Structure 1
Amino acid sequence: MKILLLEHPRTIRSERCNDIANTPLASCLLSGYTAGMLISEGHEVEVIEGFLEGLDYQEIERRVKVFEPEIIGVHMVYHWQTDMVLYDFLHKVKAERLASYITAYGYYPTTDFEDVLLQCPDIDSVVLGEPELTFAQLVKAVSCEDCLENMLGLAQRDDSGTIVAMRRELIGDLDALPFPVRTKALFRLPEINLQGSRGCYGGCTFCYINPFYGQGSQWRGRTPENIIAEIDELIARHQIKSFYFTDPNFFGPGERGQRRALHLAALIKSRNVKFGIEARVNDIHDDTVKALVEAGLNNILIGLESGSDRSLQRINKLTTVAQNEKAIRILRKYGIEPSVGFIMFEPDSFLEDIRVNFEFLKRNDLVKDLSITANVLYHHLIVLKGTRAHRDLKAAGRLEVQASTYESIVTLRDPKVAVLAMIMRQTTNFLFDIMSGIWGGQVAEPENAQERYTKINSVLVTLFENTLTTMEAGGHFTEEQVETLVRTTEKEINKILA
């Protein structure tokens, strides 16, 4: 059977450029793993990279007509709106009989499947969670014209039009999965993505990793030998020297996770490659980091989230400020300057929490590099359907649904914190917009770039601290004063870059 997997086009909205939580990096291999599974079962599969290749729907339609698929699978990625353009395209596919069956998969449709199926009648089903086994079973049923009723892992309409959904068990042995198929577009990325594990043993209120898998906090890892086999294949076939593990929790739990990481480091070391990972701060141990760095680790993202123990408890991070600081020290000891996740403005923050956050950032030298400063001085807690934060805040009547039912806005409890957040959001959005070409590598850096960036960094830090100090002293900002302050700061940044 011929199956087409679509990575649909999606827009980059400048006002959301710093809101990275629309889909996790791990989702980038969902189509690849699905394609690998289907090909292993003898099907013909084509992946269209609508996003990475910058395709419009006219070109995608042309490719669909050339391939003539019987089934189209759409990896739906939330891009801060209900994607009516995609839905219109899928309607055309059905109306012109370019494919007989359409299914969607991914983090977004898994937790918003009811609205996706209601909004787009042309989507026949949604694959829930891990797509490989469900998609393969779906293809078998469609090819044999079997009944899809009661299929595990699928959300669909029954004969009465009622949406029914049933989860399937998680894949227990990740080593049993075929390696993911990678397109030419994926090979053009500066680092080749790898997935060494799935799930997380944590339970952060804002995270939608575990709701996607649907089985609680169950972390599963591939064996180091299986991961190395994939790395060796990529090196042999494509001369790859740089990798990035997209796992949201690279290490896995406890001593077992540390031993696995040490074993993997020992295997990678002789390959002479570089790689990056993402991890929880409580998993950053001296001996393990040392071994990983010696094996080629050169970058890491850690989710600090806050410099306030009170905030960490509210978001159920299950870590402490002391652990945050210890992780930073260990990584710097071995020459790794971490990228950090940081939620400056969580829903129940008060000015004292913001002050504690700011002092933490200064104390740990996290507001000295412009690209880091711009991230940590503004980020709010993004509330997506399926998360504990969404459930709890909805029950408390604090959510306001926006353009998509998948995302909601929560009003910050402290009005002064809300004003500071507004000032920093507008300012950092402006900065990310004008720096996007430079940071994205499309535009050359200006003369004396580092000197200019240092000045802009000082502008951001001073703006934040002066505004916070004014509010702590009882000061208020009218809408007009906020507008004036933001515009004045933008002009100052433009002048430095001119």
Structure 2
Amino acid sequence: MPDQIHKEVLLLGWEGEENLGLRYIAAYLQESGISADIVPINGFCSSDISEAIKKAGPRIVGFSMIYQRMLSDFKELIASLREDQIGCHFTMGGHFPTLEYNRALRCIPGLDSVIRHEGELTLVELYRHLDSPEHWAEIKGLVYRRDGRIHVCEPRPLIEDLDILPFPLRGGEIRRHRNLKISSLITSRGCHYDCSFCSIQEFYRGAPGRKRRSRSPENVVQEMRSLFDSGTRIFVFKDDDFGMARPPQKRWIEAFIRSLEESGLANEILWRISCRVDEIDAEALEALRNAGLCFLYLGIESGSNSSLLAFNKHYDVHKIYESLDIIKRVGVDFEYGFMMFDPYSSMQSIKENIESLKYICKGGRAAVHFTKMFPYVGTAIADQLKKEGRLKGHFSIPDYSYLDPRVDQLQTFFNTRFYNIIFDGQGLMSRLSFALMDSVVAERFFSETLNGKSYRMGVEKLVNEYNSSILDAMELARAFMESRSRREIWQDWSILGRMVEERLSVHGSISRALEDLIPN
């Protein structure tokens, strides 16, 4: 909750990790002479949030809603705040309200306006003209409610020079690992690519300007130096796509590494980036590793060429394997995103996905996990499902059925049998992934007291055992259902359950061995 009593603007949003969108806006407001602070709403406790707002007495409360599934939570929260006699201006930003501003305002009667696309300049202008609603029509990027009608202003051009922005506001609860401070930051905004399931392109598309812009390497390192001096040793870059392959990005990386070395940070820190599989470049990756890069997050997404085509990824499975071989050769660790199920999944594509996961995670390099593709509003794949008449459910929680009904049964079975293992934050998969990361941190920062290499070998062995059991169970279930009709699947459901549980029975011993392995 805010430390100071009075704030002119309060920004509310989810902060599982640092919400850089809100933190950039708060910093820009403060630089513009407008006092601002952030209230995390991870638990959506309306009474606590109401108390924080009343204590701060802001003129504007800004809500950050990235995902449409949070719509009902925000609707209930805002209604509760209005019932509690909070009458200041309520505005909202984020992916969903940017793309569905009419729907957001109609669904949330207590909301006064929406700020589309990037929020820094628009929110400052709204604050300065808050008492002059006749001026609101001239505020680019604003959508507002007035006289029972929704008024849409022209979009505001995207910020071209990101270096003009102050560094994000820092504060609140600090993430740590082995008492090492962790900070998030970005080097860019936007993405060059157009994956059919992703809303990033759609978020920026309606605003004039280049859809991907980068900060200067020197500006990024200046922020890193400031964070390092305040205790940060682990940096998580939250760019939508860091990139290595394009010539301009290669030149950026060269300047970035040079600046890191000149600052004295390169040998003192550990950092992670997110990168596309087809952006992996061996020479650039090796140079980044030498400057402290230890982790990659790869949006692999699928191990089936048919799904990769539907996702508009512009690469095939062979490219995935090629890039993974480069990563292994260079010696960088990775995590990955993977959608086992998508609207066009078949028993064959799922078989291909399982086979690909064997390669992706071989040797215990990463722990097997997967998810289902979510049809976010405004994305090409959601629009295609709508045209096909397959998009169902409430628009805030859309869903779809598969072309082969047995895939619905398989997904239901996977959710039932694997949910606690894979999707629970305290499940075996999460704990193994944590241990893999922890072993890298141990070797990087605590080599004198912890045997990071030995620790890593032990973790990889356990991850490999876990992967074998999960992949075996997944393929067993897939083949079991492929050879049966829908009716036979339901009849033999319990039989399949017992067979899968036998494959997963090793998890107890893996869990106990992991507890013994992690050093204090």
Give the structure-2-normalised TM-score. Answer: 0.82
Listed one character per residue, the Cα deviations across residues 240-267 of structure 1 (whole Å, up to 9, x for unaligned) are 1110110011127721112212221232
Work out whether residues 422 and 430 of structure 2, in 8 Å CA contact, stay in contact via their aligned partners in 1: no
Q: Does 1:308 align with 2:296?
A: no
Relative to 1, partners in 2 of residues 1:472 and 1:177: Cα closer, same or farther, differing over 3 Å? Answer: same
Corresponding residue number in structure 1 for 2:149:
161
Distance in 1 of aligned mates of 2:460 and 2:33 = 54
Relative to 1, partners in 2 of residues 1:437 and 1:329: Cα closer, same or farther, differing over 3 Å? Answer: closer
Shift of 1:469: 2.9
Q: Does 1:361 align with 2:357?
A: yes
Corresponding residue number in structure 2 for 1:285:
281
Work out whether residues 193 and 244 of structure 1, in 8 Å CA contact, stay in contact via their aligned partners in 2: yes
Work out whether residues 68 and 397 of structure 2, in 8 Å CA contact, stay in contact via their aligned partners in 1: no
- Superposed counterparts of 1:24-423, under 5 Å: 28-51=19-42, 56-78=45-67, 80-84=69-73, 86-142=74-130, 147-162=135-150, 164=152, 166-186=154-174, 191-215=182-206, 218-236=211-229, 238-251=230-243, 254-269=246-261, 270-271=264-265, 272-362=268-358, 364-366=359-361, 369=364, 372-375=367-370, 379-402=371-394, 405-423=395-413
Distance in 2 of aligned mates of 1:433 and 1:204 = 24
Q: Match for 2:125: what amino acid?
A: Q
Distance in 2 of aligned mates of 1:327 and 1:470 = 33
Corresponding residue number in structure 2 for 1:463:
473
Relative to 1, partners in 2 of residues 1:193 and 1:42: Cα closer, same or farther, differing over 3 Å? Answer: same
Relative to 1, partners in 2 of residues 1:133 and 1:186: Cα closer, same or farther, differing over 3 Å? Answer: farther
How many residues in Structure 1 have an aligned counterpart in Structure 2? 470
Query: Please, which moves more after superposition, 110-119 or 287-296?
Result: 110-119
Q: Match for 1:293: what amino acid?
A: R
Distance in 1 of aligned mates of 2:245 and 2:115 = 28
Distance in 2 of aligned mates of 1:423 and 1:336 = 35
Listed one character per residue, the Cα deviations across residues 153-207 of structure 1 (whole Å, up to 9, x for unaligned) are 1222243424535422111111111111022225558521001111111110000
Q: Match for 2:468: what amino acid?
A: S
Listed one character per residue, the Cα deviations across residues 138-159 of structure 1 (whole Å, up to 9, x for unaligned) are 1111155653125321222243
Relative to 1, partners in 2 of residues 1:8 and 1:278: Cα closer, same or farther, differing over 3 Å? Answer: closer
Work out whether residues 102 and 125 of structure 1, in 8 Å CA contact, stay in contact via their aligned partners in 2: yes
Give the unaligned 5+ runs of structure 2. Answer: 1-6, 436-457, 510-520
Work out whether residues 360 and 366 of structure 2, in 8 Å CA contact, stay in contact via their aligned partners in 1: no
Listed one character per residue, the Cα deviations across residues 352-376 of structure 1 (whole Å, up to 9, x for unaligned) are 22222222222x242664972133x
Listed one character per residue, the Cα deviations across residues 94-122 of structure 1 (whole Å, up to 9, x for unaligned) are 35543420101112322232222112111
Work out whether residues 297 and 335 of structure 2, in 8 Å CA contact, stay in contact via their aligned partners in 1: yes
Shift of 1:488: 6.2
Work out whether residues 206 and 389 of structure 1, in 8 Å CA contact, stay in contact via their aligned partners in 2: yes
Distance in 2 of aligned mates of 1:59 and 1:488 = 48
Q: Match for 2:386: what amino acid?
A: K
Corresponding residue number in structure 2 for 1:497:
508
Distance in 1 of aligned mates of 2:425 and 2:134 = 53
Relative to 1, partners in 2 of residues 1:380 and 1:469: Cα closer, same or farther, differing over 3 Å? Answer: same
Relative to 1, partners in 2 of residues 1:148 and 1:365: Cα closer, same or farther, differing over 3 Å? Answer: closer
Name the SS for the 2:109 alignment partner. Answer: coil
Shift of 1:57: 2.4
Query: Please, which moves more after superposition, 39-48 or 89-98?
Result: 89-98
Relative to 1, partners in 2 of residues 1:449 and 1:475: Cα closer, same or farther, differing over 3 Å? Answer: farther
Work out whether residues 260 and 291 of structure 2, in 8 Å CA contact, stay in contact via their aligned partners in 1: yes
Work out whether residues 242 and 275 of structure 2, in 8 Å CA contact, stay in contact via their aligned partners in 1: yes
Work out whether residues 459 and 489 of structure 1, in 8 Å CA contact, stay in contact via their aligned partners in 2: no
Relative to 1, partners in 2 of residues 1:282 and 1:118: Cα closer, same or farther, differing over 3 Å? Answer: same
Give the structure-1-normalised TM-score. Answer: 0.85
Query: Please, which moves more after superposition, 451-460 or 170-179?
Result: 451-460
Q: Match for 2:475: what amino acid?
A: E
Work out whether residues 385 and 407 of structure 1, in 8 Å CA contact, stay in contact via their aligned partners in 2: no
Work out whether residues 63 and 93 of structure 2, in 8 Å CA contact, stay in contact via their aligned partners in 1: yes
Relative to 1, partners in 2 of residues 1:456 and 1:322: Cα closer, same or farther, differing over 3 Å? Answer: closer
Higher relative contact order (CA 8 A, sep 6+): 1
Q: Does 1:430 align with 2:425?
A: no
Distance in 2 of aligned mates of 1:437 and 1:308 = 27
Listed one character per residue, the Cα deviations across residues 429-488 of structure 1 (whole Å, up to 9, x for unaligned) are 1213666167777xx99xx98877655433321111222333455565523433553476
Query: Please, which moves more after superposition, 310-319 or 274-283?
Result: 310-319
Q: Match for 2:479: what amino acid?
A: T
Distance in 2 of aligned mates of 1:453 and 1:340 = 15
Distance in 2 of aligned mates of 1:303 and 1:8 = 23
Distance in 2 of aligned mates of 1:483 and 1:116 = 44
Distance in 1 of aligned mates of 2:307 and 2:14 = 37
Distance in 1 of aligned mates of 2:157 and 2:219 = 22
Work out whether residues 452 and 497 of structure 1, in 8 Å CA contact, stay in contact via their aligned partners in 2: no
Distance in 2 of aligned mates of 1:439 and 1:311 = 24
Listed one character per residue, the Cα deviations across residues 408-428 of structure 1 (whole Å, up to 9, x for unaligned) are 212111233333222222222
Work out whether residues 219 and 252 of structure 1, in 8 Å CA contact, stay in contact via their aligned partners in 2: no
Distance in 2 of aligned mates of 1:194 and 1:29 = 7
Distance in 1 of aligned mates of 2:464 and 2:277 = 28
Shift of 1:215: 4.5
Listed one character per residue, the Cα deviations across residues 18-37 of structure 1 (whole Å, up to 9, x for unaligned) are xxxxxxx8x82111011011
Corresponding residue number in structure 1 for 2:496:
485
Query: How many percent of aligned residue pairs carry the same amino acid?
Result: 26
Give the unaligned 5+ runs of structure 1. Answer: 11-24
